[in-house]
Each structure stands twice: as C-alpha cells, then as structure tokens.
Amino acid sequence: MFRNLASVLGGVMILVSCASGFAQQAEPQKEVLVFYKTEGFHHKSVDTAVKTIQKLGAENDFNVSSTKNTSIFLKEDIRNYDVVVFANTSGNVFNKEEQKAFRNYIENGGGFFGIHSAADTEGDWPFFVELVGGFFENHPKVQQADIHLNMEDHPAVSHLPKVWTFTDEWYNYKNLNPEIQVLLYLDETSYEGGTNGKEHPIAWFRKTGHGGISIFTGLGHSVESYIKPNFKEHILQSILFALGETKK
C-alpha cells in the first residue's frame, strides 16, 4: 500500500514538475523591432547595425524583426513590439498619419532605443525630438575621444571603464531634454570640434511618463563600431534595459 502511495505521489510530483517546466517554456519572448529608414544621410553601418541586433537577439532570447517600411506603425500588431530601435535613421521618415501612430505606440508604453543618427530624425516634430532627448546640430571629423562614465551602476554602461577611449563621429546636440539622465559624457578636451561644453552628453535615458523607457546612444557611426565588444555590449544592455530586463 505504502509502495503504491509513494508511486502515486512520485507521479504527481513529476506531473507538477513538468507543468512548471511547460509554464516556463510558454512564457513569450520579448519582441524588438529594428527600424532603419533614412531620408537624410545614409550611414554605411545601417545593415551592420541591423545584423548585429539580430544576432544579439538570437543569443539573448529576444525576437528581432526589422523593416524600413513606415506603414508597420499603422498596423494593429505594432503593439506586440516591446521596444522599437531606430538604427541610424535620418531625415523626416514619417507622414502625419504615421507620426500619430508612432506617438500612440509610445503613449501606450512602448519602449524606444535610438542609435547615433536617430538624433538626426524627425527634426521638425517636437514630440520625437523630446522622445530621443536631443537633436543633431553638427559634427567634426571622425576621431578618437575619451568618454567618461557618469552612471557606473547603470546596466547599459556598467561594463565600461571609467574612461573609455573610442573612435566615432561625435555629434553636437541642441534642444537637449532637461529630463534626460546622462549615462556617458564626452570629454571635449580629448578631441577637436565639440561645442556642448564641459558636460557633453553622448548617451542617456529617460522614462517616457507612459510606462516606457527611451534610451539613446550617440555612438555607432561606422561599421567598425559594431565589432567592438564594449559597444556591442552597450547596445545589448540598452535594449535589455528598454525591455525592462538585465543580463550579465
């Protein structure tokens, strides 16, 4: 009798364990949309940026879709994306209807991650400039510069050294949103052509007020950037942060 009872209890425990395993497996993966339309300058690194994020998604358990078609924002299933990444977009990419749809996505808690020339996108639309956190003004030639870690415990940058030397196209910004929290500052004494002064932000984030996160990095101009381990980790951790996740 006791042997039978133990057998039954063992079977129940196996079923519970299997059910728990199925429940974990059934948890849906997060969905990321990489948007890469350009109406201004087209960076050679766009394709590399898209492929890098696709690979990061495959390695870190989030799904990645990509498009340069703005009509995707008019579709009802845009709400299924947890984060939209603007990968070196440029110029005025939206019409009025698409602007309304994108704003609706953000105001319903959608996450946003802008890379480099995302800050040179939709400059005539105050909502978007405010969302990104600032707008491109100009830039000097591509050159090496020192980047200073401002929020060393933040997951998007915690892997970086306190002073990170990197080569990129360093944007000067205007219309900086006072709500941004700066992750990284550029040291203007380490290169030529900076105009934002002693506190020159180059990566930042803010809460949108609608339950979402907007995060931006000014790095990512060149194809070579995307093979640098520290920059790839910066992209990954920025996406995970916008998704509400962290991974070490």
pLDDT digits (tens, 9 = 90+) for 94-119: 999 999 999 999 999 999 999 999 99
Average pLDDT, integer, range 200-212? 95
Q: Taking each helix axis from N to C terminus, what angle separates 229-243 and 46-59, rounded to the nearest 10 degrees?
A: 70
Burial of 151 from C-beta contacts in 10 A (0-12 / 13-18 / 19+):
middle
Contact 72, 99 (CB under 8 A): no
- For the stretch 148-186, pLDDT in tens is 999 999 999 999 999 999 999 999 999 999 999 999 999
- For the stretch 4-62, pLDDT in tens is 544 544 544 444 454 455 445 557 899 999 999 999 999 999 999 999 999 999 999 99
The three-state secondary structure class of 66 is strand
User: What percent of the chain clears pLDDT 70, i.e. is strictly above it?
Assistant: 88
d(CA 235, CA 136): 20
Contact 71, 81 (CB under 8 A): no
pTM for this structure? 0.89
Strands 163-168 and 143-149: antiparallel
- Sheet with 200-207, side-by-side order of all strands: 62-67, 30-35, 83-87, 111-115, 213-217, 200-207, 181-187, 143-149, 163-168
| 213 strand-pairing partners | 207
Residues contacting residue 20 through CB under 8 Å, at least 6 positions apart:
none
Class of the CATH-defined domain 29-137+171-185+201-243:
alpha beta
Strands 30-35 and 83-87: parallel
